[in-house]
Amino acid sequence: MTTAHSPTGPLFISPYIEFVAENFNQLVARLVEHILITAETVLIAVPIAVGLGVLITYNDRAATAVLWLAGIAMTIPSLAAFGLLVPFLGIGSDPVVFTLILYSQLPVIRNTYVGLTGVEEAMKEAGRGLGMTRRQRLRRIQIPMALPIILAGVRNAVVIVVGVAAVGAYIGAGGLGEFIFNGIRQGDSVMIVVATIVVSLLALAADYGIATVEQLLRIRNGEEVEQRVSTQLIERAI
């Protein structure tokens, strides 16, 4: 890694371009680490959160308790959480991933719960009219119609994970945060700015990608479910 840089020169932007050119391979390596930490977290956190979101639709008290606990988890400062987990999980990515899983729960659980309970009562009644059990209504009507809202929660969770994962470099988890902390230690503002921009671009790219899928599902799934239920009702009436 190069020595300290400062944003001076014939063009203000030239030190940043120079830094990227000199450290391109390391930037790519840290970016891949950052993506892997994010992917590992999301792959573990989302099934847990969606499962909890589905379960709490059966009990309002459980919903209140689970959402409250998930909210409490998000208030714990990341460095404090890392410090508490290091004696048990050691230095590296494990305590970071564990903490990020906790941080990911609230947006996904909340959106799953809101999405499932917010399905129009008329659609649920139509399912009952077709003789569907509660589990069948959940699988065939509620989840498909709630999927865009669930994805919106996943989208929020991913953006949170991408941002907080940078702090994980403080305990040796790797990722783009290494450049940020090295820049702070060396007083290198260029290193800090470049790494921060890359983290921000990664978060924006993830947000845009999931938002696009969410919009497509919002249009397609709602129409498909309504059409399928209507067709079954007509066939039953005939």
Q: What is the pLDDT of residues 6-32, one digit of tens each?
A: 555 545 678 899 999 999 999 999 999
Residue 8 placed within a domain: no
Sign of CA dihedral 192, 198, 202, 205: positive
pLDDT tier for residue 88 given thresholds of 50, 70 and 90 = very high
> Is 60 within 8 Å of 135 (Cβ atoms)?
no
Q: DSSP strand E in 108-223: where?
A: none
pTM: 0.85
pLDDT score of 13: 72
Rounded to the nearest angstrom, the gap between the alpha carbon of residue 135 and the centroid of all alpha carbons in its chain is 27
**Using CB atoms within 10 A of its CB, is residue 35 exposed (0-12), middle (13-18) or buried (19+)?**
middle
Nearest-5° Cα angle at 34, 30 to 36: 115
Q: Which residue has the tokens 């906790």?
A: 102
Of 175, 197, 168, 165, which is closest to residue 29 (Cα–Cα)?
A: 175
For residue 156, the enclosing domain spans 14-237
Question: Which residue pairs from 57-65 have beta carbons closer than 8 angstroms and sit at least 24 positions apart in sequence?
Answer: 57/113, 57/116, 57/117, 63/113
pLDDT score of 144: 86
The number of folded domains in the chain is 1
Residue 182 placed within a domain: yes
Residue 5 placed within a domain: no
Residue 2 placed within a domain: no
Residue 136 placed within a domain: yes
Residue 4 placed within a domain: no
Cα dihedral 230→235→237→238 (10° resolution)? 140
Instruction: Give the CATH number for residue 71.
Output: 1.10.3720.10
Residue 233 placed within a domain: yes
Q: What is the pLDDT of residues 175-211, one digit of tens each?
A: 999 999 999 999 999 999 999 999 999 999 999 999 9
